[in-house]
Every structure is written in structure tokens, then in C-alpha cells.
Amino acid sequence: MTRFWLGGYGPAMEGIADGIGLLAGDEGAETSLSYRGAVTSTPSPSWLAQHPTLDVVYAALEGDAAVQAFARSGESALTPLGEPVEAGQYVCHVAVAPNGSSLIASCYGDGRVVRIGLDAAGRLIPDAANKAAELRAALLGEPAAETGAPAGTAAAASDPYGDEGRESHAHAAAFLPDGRIATTDLGFDLVRIWRQTAGGLALDHEVVLPKGTGPRHMVVHPSGHLHVVTEYSCEVFTLAAGPDGTWAVVSSVLSSPIAEIGVDFPAELARTRDGQFLYTALRGSNTIAALRVRGAGEALESIALADSGVDWPRHHLVHQGKLLVAGQRSDTISLIDLDERTGAPLGIRHRAPAPTPTHFLPVR
């Protein structure tokens, strides 16, 4: 059976989801994929992440400014693993370290980037333990979290363009091959590169994108390049690390030649397993844009644009040669066939109702 945990928005976020849901279907029978109900009563678990080695799932509780851990307690069941831990306003993304030692929470509302420790069982380490780590960091002369923020909070971003009318909006994090972490700040047009220290995250350097682009989500390519989709300018920027480890933009391309800036707002960026193709969803025209990766990963070209089959496609992922799309405003999910050779979307194979879906996570 094919199964996915399904994140969603509840009433506090103007949605109808009751918690983390289950999407399931018979293996090889795509049209049987359907919503099977909520497996938790969590409010607005808008983004989900899997522990790399344990049967533990982490949820960004966007309306509650917190992150919570859940242990798998059956074939299709999740049980809370400890209490929620404070993160920041409108926490919208969580990313778990490859070694399972911590997670990074990105908070759209207040711009916070928060590192939360994980214990050997996958539980979120409470603030007391994080504060002890900060004390050790102070003794070692390493950077500490900002005053008044949750323990583990990184230094606040500053607008490189000096515009007092803009606000910081952290949106996503990605673990880089060398152990550093990249985060996007949609409000300040930044990709920030961090080092991990005993006291939290220490800023290594920043990559400033053109003003008003709005970097949102990222994927790390097998080549080591970092692809970043922008919500406001409908572009995908490709970043690479130089010999000294400093990241910089090496190319950019419109997600689609006919994307309408101010009408279309790209959401997720997903890639095929082999890294040959990328897909982004354009909220507004409700389309899926396909891009081909060129060279050694340093360049992209737009190859196709197709109907997403949903309204406001907030998240999508490539699964077994198909694209699964979450329609936030239509309360539906869709399944799109992909051409294995060209990467182009071929058409909508299946649609099914689901309550305000915002994120898919394959059940491991």
C-alpha cells in the first residue's frame, strides 16, 4: 500500500484539517489514493519532517508557534512524543539534521530560525537543555541565541537593502553536504549560510538576491548545487560554493516564460531522484512548471507548463514517476503523470478530496 502523512491547515489558519492525516492507496492502483482521516488532533500541522533513522515525525504547528514530535505507534498511527516546543510566529518549515541530532524550524511571522536539539529517542530537547548548551557556548566564547527568543534561536536577519518598511520572513532550511545549513529569508531576499556550534547557529555568510525576489524553498542537487525558488519574481536561482566555501549565485531562470509576476506565486520546489528535472507550482495560475537541469547542475531551462489539477498548489513531490500535488484552497490532491524521458507533465491521472492539504510526507 502507498501511504503518506498529510499536513494541513486547521480552523486557526482558515482551514478544515483536524490534524495530521493519512493518504493511502493500493500499490500500483493510483486512482485508489484517498484521504483516510486524521491520525492526530494536532492544530495546523502545516509541514512535516521525518527523523532519518527513527519512526518519529516532526510537525510545524504553524498557528501555535511551536514544533511537536510524534512517534509511529502502528501501521497508520502517530502518538505525541512529548509536549510541543516553542519556535516562533507562523513556524512554517522544519528540517531534520542527517544525523538526527537536531532540527531547524523556520518562522515566517517573526523571521526566527531556531535550532532544537533531539535526544536519542527523537524527542525534542526542552529549553532547559538548550540553555545549558548556551551556557557552555558562553564559556567557550561562541555566539549565543538572541535575547528574549527561544533557546537555540539564530541571530535576526537585517535587510541588506536598508528598507525599513520590509520585514524578515524565514521560510525554509536545507542541510548542505559540508554540514552547514542554508536558510531562506523571503522578506529580506537572503539565503543565509550557517555553521553549527555548541550554542546554536553561527552565521557564516549571506547571499543577497535581487530586491523583491522573495526566496522561498530550496532543493540540494546531487551535484552539490543549491536551487532556490522565489515567490515574488517566479525565478529559480542556482547557487554554488566556491573554493573558499563561499556560496554565490551562478545562474537564474524564470520558472516559466509565461509566469505572471504579481499573479503567480511559486510554492514548493521538488526534484526527481536523479536530479535531471525540477518542478515548481505556480499558485495563481494553478500550474506546474517543469525545468531541466543542465551541465553539472549549474544551469536550468524551462521545458513545460501544465495544469496542476488543484486550486493554490502549496506543496508537491515526485513519487514513483508521478507528481503528487496538494491544493490548499480546493481541499483536494491531484496525481499527475510525468514523461520519464522528457520530464514533462503528461496529464492529471487522479484527484481526491482532502482537508486543506499543505504537505505530503511518505510513510516510511
pLDDT digits (tens, 9 = 90+) for 30-74: 889 999 999 999 999 999 999 999 999 999 999 999 999 999 998
First-to-last CA distance in the chain? 11
What's the rounded Cα separation, in Å, for the pair 93 and 49? 9
Q: Which of 1, 124, 26, 23 is nearest to 355 (CA)?
A: 23
Architecture label for domain 2-362? 7 Propeller (2.130)
For residue 341 the three cell numbers come to 524521458
pLDDT digits (tens, 9 = 90+) for 184-221: 999 999 999 999 998 889 999 999 999 999 999 999 99
What was the pLDDT predicted at 133?
47
pLDDT digits (tens, 9 = 90+) for 248-268: 999 999 999 999 999 999 999
What's the rounded Cα separation, in Å, for the pair 47 and 62? 8
What was the pLDDT predicted at 146?
46
What's the pLDDT band for 141 if we cut at 50, 70, 90? low
What was the pLDDT predicted at 142?
55
What was the pLDDT predicted at 129?
43
What's the rounded Cα separation, in Å, for the pair 176 and 205? 14
Q: Which H helix or E strand runs over 8?
A: strand 2-8
What was the pLDDT predicted at 155?
84
**Domain residues of the chain, as ranges?**
2-362
What's the pLDDT band for 152 if we cut at 50, 70, 90? confident
pTM of the model: 0.94
Reported for 203-208, long-range contacts at CB under 8 A and 24+ positions apart, including other chains, are: 203/154, 203/155, 204/180, 204/245, 205/246, 205/247, 206/160, 207/239, 207/247, 207/248, 207/249, 208/160
